[in-house]
Structure 1
């Protein structure tokens, strides 16, 4: 990337492992905050980070991660909360999503929101319901937007990210 003239990139917390506990999530965050930026810097690239519990990676004890999130966001490389959101629209996903949106709102951080690969048209309105009244839409980037949900999202104040896979 640096060879092509790119000076910086953003990496988001995601679902690379089965997140069985908060310890696994925190190990993932540590890698994003230490290993990846160091490796990128050796190659002339500045890496910024977004941290949050991905909806496909909710541990059995998400409250432990959410409790630590405000301190983690103080890391100078962290510029957003994410990738957070809903995948199936379950109650636990909604609770974890809303808790993270509240942290982002309180600390004035932008949020990168995941929309699911499947059932996107059914779950995206639920995502917007959680966002509504929790955080200012202008602080939200909704990711993986495709033509199926674009009409619903285009009138919001959210920034929209494309779904390159479709």
Structure 2
């Protein structure tokens, strides 16, 4: 089982996690920029963080045979802090870099006007840079926040196929499915989704435009729940090809729209620290590019 976790915060995880993920079949990850728990007080602290996502973390992941890419953005929670507003002005410099495969996480937290302004501005940057967008749906009033997110996406003019709305559940999936956007689901202990609930959604909606992630971070989370979801799919009667589509080919297709996805290593069977073999997936092609 090959796994691409399309939303995981490895900066918050340990090398033991990387080792366990590799053993479970994880060969690629995307790490979205997010709130670190402690409020940041200046744009300079964001610049240091973004530099780490583009430099240190890919190097750390590579030691365990895992390809690492990131998304860059001003997260909704900190969009409310006027000290962080100038981060928007930093983004074009980072959105031009090879390792960045989307703008994100962006969207709503409390649904404030400041959040909406930052959301719209960053969707405009996604359009300008030809990048997908990763949208965080709020933890409170998820149905209302998801509907409002879809309205901002529609107003932006971005192609819906370039947008994933993440942290969805049974209440919000239908509306997002109808919008043409991708549907993201976080399999996360105690909150968000479980593997069994995810399987029921897949049974109802199919595997197209579906992204399954662990969203593992500094909270009570588990970076192996993507694997658990694949196993639950098999137990429920899905085939190996269905599992491969959800856990590998779908994230490749979504983030591959950036033209910067480089999967030249981190394939099933690699030993940690081993030389990376050539990429192998549909058509034996390698999605890579950027400037």
| TM-score, normalisation: structure 2 | 0.54
Residues in 2 aligned to 1:18 and 1:63: alpha-carbon distance in whole angstroms: 13
Question: Are 1:111 and 2:133 counterparts?
Answer: yes
Residues in 1 aligned to 2:138 and 2:53: alpha-carbon distance in whole angstroms: 23
Q: Quick one: which of 3, 6, 12 aligns to 2:32?
A: 12
Per-residue CA deviation, residues 128-166 of structure 1 (Å, 9 max, x unaligned), is: 111112122111010001111122222011000114223
Unpaired runs of 5+ residues, structure 1, are: none
Superposed, 1:44-83 pairs within 5 Å as 44-58=65-79, 59-83=81-105
Superposed, 1:1-166 pairs within 5 Å as 1-16=21-36, 17-58=38-79, 59-134=81-156, 135-164=158-187, 165-166=192-193
Please report how far the alpha carbon of residue 60 of structure 1 lies from its aligned counterpart in structure 2 after TM superposition.
2.2
Does the 8 A contact of 2:104 with 2:133 survive in 1?
Answer: yes
Does the 8 A contact of 1:85 with 1:93 survive in 2?
Answer: yes
Residues in 2 aligned to 1:118 and 1:63: alpha-carbon distance in whole angstroms: 23
Please report how far the alpha carbon of residue 63 of structure 1 lies from its aligned counterpart in structure 2 after TM superposition.
4.2
Going from structure 1 to structure 2, the CA distance change for 1:152 and 1:5 (only over 3 Å counts) comes to: closer
Going from structure 1 to structure 2, the CA distance change for 1:3 and 1:86 (only over 3 Å counts) comes to: same
Per-residue CA deviation, residues 56-102 of structure 1 (Å, 9 max, x unaligned), is: 12242444222221220122111111111111110000000110000
The answer to which structure has the higher strand fraction is 1
Which range moved further: 25-34 or 138-147? Answer: 25-34
Count of residue pairs the alignment pairs up: 166
Secondary structure of 2:184's aligned partner: strand
Residues in 1 aligned to 2:141 and 2:155: alpha-carbon distance in whole angstroms: 24
The higher relative CO (CA closer than 8 Å, separation ≥ 6) is in 2
Residues in 2 aligned to 1:6 and 1:147: alpha-carbon distance in whole angstroms: 26
Q: Which residue number in structure 1 is paired with residue 278 of structure 2?
A: none
Secondary structure of 2:87's aligned partner: helix
The CA RMSD measured in Å over matched residues stands at: 1.6
Residues in 1 aligned to 2:177 and 2:166: alpha-carbon distance in whole angstroms: 13
Residues in 1 aligned to 2:83 and 2:184: alpha-carbon distance in whole angstroms: 30
Per-residue CA deviation, residues 28-74 of structure 1 (Å, 9 max, x unaligned), is: 21221122111111222110111111101224244422222122012
Larger Rg: 2
Unpaired runs of 5+ residues, structure 2, are: 1-20, 194-291
